Structures are given as structure tokens and as C-alpha cells.
Chain A
Amino acid sequence: MTTTKPAEPKTITLNMGPQHPSTHGVLRVKLELDGERVIHAEPIIGYLHTGIEKTMESKLYYKALPATDRIDYLAPMSNNLGYCLAVEKLMDIEVPDKVKWARVCLAELTRVSSHLVWLGTHALDLGAASMLLYAFRERESIVDIYEACGGQRMMTSYIRIGGLSKDLPTDFDKKVRNIIKTIREKIKDYETLLSENPIFINRTKGVAVISADDAINYSLSGPLLRGSGVNYDVRKANPYSGYENFNFVVPLGKNGDAYDRYLIRLEEMRQSLNIAEQAINGMPEGPYRAHVPGVVLPPKEDVLYKMESLIFHFKIITDGFKAPVGSVYQAIESPKGELGFFITGDGTNKPRRVRVRPPSFVNLGSLPKLSEGSLLSDVICAIGSIDIVLGEVDR
């Protein structure tokens, strides 16, 4: 007599995260596996949701600024820049040239530091553990620049509405030039470690592929979109903060795989160093804050000696300023992609709505597409190549 076995389930469900070192934070991925092949991957997020948008809506425009540092904590200057540009657009403020140049310089250094962290952690996920130490060593020098400028190493809040929180340090250009020189050399070292490393190539080439049409359809941005060959960089397409004055190339990929994204980020680091150098060379003289009484805080030196400045300072800190009724959207190219701030003023001194258009969140939405049909180990590579920061995904 033959007995028929009960039908065995063909797939198993596996939970990856939320405490998994390769998910770069508290990301949980629910995987449906057939053997080692991924049938379906579902990212589950929200473990780090802190209601940053609600917090910002309850504060004066000035006092909402420190919350932006905490969105993408690896690129604080980019977040400050995006928020300040949006509020400046809402209030119709034009900032001095020196401010624009300094902001560009700092934003590009931020891109380098964010990409360095990405490079270190991504290579660590794929087995090249020494990259983490090298990348963090170089990042340290950029964090030192933040400290010299704003006094803080991570939560800088250095870029303020209408300008900067204080003037650039006196030896700023010397320090930045040193960093540019060092990191340019070091990028060559990274290339010798990874670009032709057979293990790294095997783990990344042809992995987590997305076509150009799909990338657009999934609303992707940043290196993930450009890796598929779509030429969209906010700095070139809709320049902000004086980017139209700088010469740089937007690197594009062909195959849309994790290896192309790696090459693009390396090239972006080189281009960012070029832009930072141009900004240092062409840094104009002038005030570090716009002169808009009642909206932009007067410089601290004036507050100590001039009556009007003291009054305005007091008024702005206690009452803020009233914004007109209307919505503005300002996009910037953050290291992760298109970071947008959608701010709605309602005639009072608090924003009615602050919406952060988070590049990591939107890019992570494509993880099922990137990883379905691939092996389990490639999911790690896919998550790494998206370059997510969970603080930004969940806000």
C-alpha cells in the first residue's frame, strides 16, 4: 500500500531584521523563499517613526530647523540646506553670494562623507571588512570641518534661514583644501581595493538590476536612478543655490546594477571634491547672512551693540515671522537622491505643513522589484546599493 505524503509547503517565510546588521538600521524585510531564491520581499518600516513632520509643524520656522538634522543623520548639511532654501523661497529671500558658495562647498563635502559611510558599510556587507575603517577614517576629517564651522560634529544646524549660523572659520579654505587633496588620493586606494576585486564584482555585477523605465516608474532618484542611465540630477536640471556656476559632470550607468551604482558614487565623490574646490577658489567676500529685518536673524555681533538688531533678534526668537498663505516645494540633490521640502504657510508664524520628500523612503519602495527572483544573499547587496538611512525612511 502506498501512502501519499501530505503536500509540503514549497516556500518558507523568513524574517530579516529589524535587528540585522546588514539592514543598516531597524528595517525588517519579510522574505518568502523557495530554497535560497526570493519569491517575494516585503520591507516593513516604521520602527523609527518619531513624527518629525508633526514636530516641525508645531514649531516656529526657526525652531523647526534642528529637526532636519535628524532626518538623514549622515548628511545633516544637505537637510539644513533643503529646509532653508524652501523657507527662503516661501519668504522670498535672496541670500548673498558668499552664503551660496559656502553652502555648495559644505553640501558637496557632505555628499562625500555620506558616500564614504555608504562605501564602508556596503563593502562590509559584501565581505570587505577593512573598507569600513578606511572610509570612516576619511569621513572623520569632514566631520572635523563641521565642528570647526558650527561647533557640532553631526547635528550641525549650521545652515540657517537666510544664511549661516556664523561666519566660516578663518582657516576654512586651508582645511578644505587639505581634505580634498587627501581624499582624492584615498579614492584611488579604494578603487584598487574594490573595483577589480573578483569577489566584489561577483557580488555586485548583474545584481539588483532595474531598467530605466522601471526606475522612473518607481519614482526613484539619485544614484539609483542614474545607475540605470537616466540623466536626472537636480543640480543640473533645476539648479539651486548657484549650482549653475559650477562645472561638473553627472556620471551615468548603463546596466542599472549594484556595480554601476558603486562606480557612480565613486565618480560623484570625485566630482563633489571638484565642486568643493571650485567653491573654495571662487568664494566671494561679503556678509554671511542676508539683511531682511524681521525675518532673518541679525548677526550676533550687531545684536550686542545695536538697539534695532537686539529688538529684531528678540522678536524673531519669541514670535517668529508670519509666512504668507501658500505652498512651496524645493528639491535638492542630497547624497541619497532628490530631497524635497514641501512647506505650506498659512499666515501664522508656524508652518501648516512641512512635508519631507525622503529619497530613501521612495527608493526603498523598489526593494521588492530589485530582489525578487534573486538569491537571499543578493537582498543584502540590494539594500546596501539603495543606500538607505532609516532615520529618513521613517522620520
Chain B
Amino acid sequence: MKDELTSFLNERFAGGILAVEEFRSQISYRIKPEALFLICETLQKDGQFAVKYLADITCVDWLGHEREKEGRFEVVYNLYSYRYKYRFFLNVRLNPDRPKVASLTPIWKGANWLEREVFDLFGIIFEGHPNLTKIVTPDELEGHPLRKDFPLTWEQPHFSWNKDDPPEVIK
């Protein structure tokens, strides 16, 4: 499955696949953000691989790490094929000046909440999402808590009596 999939992706999307990484026998393909939607649509519709299941969407913030130069945010798509019992990953690298990638909600309805959560916690914008709003954090909270530059403990002023106070950062 691994070799077939790699050669299939390389043939069909020659410029879209930037790199293939293997770590602990897990394959992840780094792809161009523009190519993401087409690749996912092809894999889902394709009869040969039958990648019907989007297990998860998440993001890694590489701020301050040497991997940051390839793009600070790594959005990871966790895909699974029931037929081959095979799991693989697609990832796209985005920079904070333009953290935008196409939404997968037209392909998988399960992407709806997963993308909303990544938007809420990392501030990645999924273009074409029907309802890209906060999902777990309070409406008043500013910022995206799972970014590495968001302080670990921070009390945002919520009330009129302390709204002019600077936010207190406890180290």
C-alpha cells in the first residue's frame, strides 16, 4: 500500500508532493497547500485506495524550532483506508502571515468541527468552511491558546473593573 500510494501521488500530482517523511513506520506526505483539496478529493473518490475516513485534523506550532523555516504551522490530516487498514498523513506548512488552507468540509462532513477546533486554537483559516467560528474557547477570549506564543497562564480582563489593567502573565 505504501509504495503504491506514493507512486500514485507522485504520478498524479507531480508538483504537489513536496516531501515524503517516514518516522516510526508512519508515512506523511508534505504537500502544497494549493494541492490539498484536489488530492483529498481524488483519494476519497478513487476506487483503488478508497480513503473514506478522515480521522483527525490537527496542527503543530513549530515556533522557535529549526523546523520553523519550512513554515511555522504544520496542519496535519490523518487519513485512513478501511480496505487496506492503512493510515497515513498529509501535512501542509503555513506561515502566520497567511495561515490559509482550503476547507475539506465539501468532501468530509466530519471536517466541520475538526477544522473549527484548529481555527479556534491555532488561528488557521479554512477557506470555504460554512461556519468557521470558535468552538471550545469563550467568545471573549482573544488569541489562539495553543500557539506557542500564547502564555500558559494568563488572565484576560473580562469585567468592567479590570478592563484597563494589563493582562497578568504568571511564569
Beta-carbon contact of B110 and A217 below 8 Å:
yes
A92-B24, A342-B76, A353-B61 known; A46+B138 contact, CB < 8 A? yes
Q: Mark B25-61, 1 if CB is under 8 A from A, else 0.
A: 0101000000000000000000000001111101111
Chain A: CB-nearest residue to B118: A355
A220 within 8 A of B: yes
Distance (Å) between the CB of A392 and the closest chain B CB?
12
Q: Which residues of A, 315-365, contact B by the 8 Å Cβ criterion?
A: 325-329, 331, 338, 340, 342, 344, 346, 352-353, 355, 357, 361-362, 364-365
A58 within 8 A of B: yes
Beta-carbon contact of A238 and B146 below 8 Å:
no
Given contacts A53-B121, A331-B87, A364-B113, 6 further A-B contacts (CB under 8 A): A214-B109, A230-B82, A325-B67, A342-B78, A353-B59, A365-B112
Q: Mark A197-223, 1 if CB is under 8 A from B, else 0.
A: 000000000000000001011111100
B: which residues have CB within 8 A of A? 23-24, 26, 28, 52-56, 58-62, 65, 67, 76, 78, 82, 85, 87, 89, 108-114, 117, 121, 134-138, 145-146, 150, 152
A49 within 8 A of B: yes
Q: Which residues of B contact A326 (CB under 8 A)?
A: 23-24
Task: From B24, B54, B61, B150, give the contact of A219 (CB < 8 A).
Answer: B54
A46-B136, A329-B89, A357-B78 known; A342+B56 contact, CB < 8 A? yes
A89-B24, A338-B55, A361-B113 known; A46+B78 contact, CB < 8 A? no
Interface centre among A46, A355, A366 (most CB of B within 10 A): A355
Beta-carbon contact of B152 and A219 below 8 Å:
no
A54 within 8 A of B: yes
Query: How many Å lie between the Cα of A335 and that of B89 in the bound state?
Result: 25
Q: Which residues of A contact B108 (CB under 8 A)?
A: 217-219
Query: How many Å lie between the Cα of A237 and that of B145 in the bound state?
Result: 35
Beta-carbon contact of B26 and A353 below 8 Å:
no
Q: Which residues of A, 31-60, contact B by the 8 Å Cβ criterion?
A: 45-46, 49, 51, 53-54, 57-58
Distance (Å) between the CB of A325 and the closest chain B CB?
7
Interface centre among A46, A57, A232, A395 (most CB of B within 10 A): A46
A90 within 8 A of B: yes
A372 within 8 A of B: no
* CB-based closest 9 A-B pairs: A219-B110, A326-B23, A365-B113, A46-B136, A355-B58, A49-B136, A357-B56, A353-B60, A218-B110
Beta-carbon contact of B26 and A328 below 8 Å:
yes
Query: How many Å lie between the Cα of A394 and that of B117 in the bound state?
Result: 10
Task: From A45, A230, A238, A325, give the contact of B85 (CB < 8 A).
Answer: A238
Q: Which residues of A contact B55 (CB under 8 A)?
A: 219, 221, 331, 338, 340, 357
Beta-carbon contact of A327 and B23 below 8 Å:
yes
Chain A: CB-nearest residue to B134: A46
A92-B24, A340-B55 known; A219+B114 contact, CB < 8 A? yes
Q: Which residues of A, 223-276, contact B by the 8 Å Cβ criterion?
A: 230, 232, 237-238
Query: How many Å lie between the Cα of A57 and that of B82 in the bound state?
Result: 31
Chain A: CB-nearest residue to B44: A217
Q: Which residues of B contact A364 (CB under 8 A)?
A: 113
Query: How many Å lie between the Cα of A214 and that of B76 in the bound state?
Result: 23
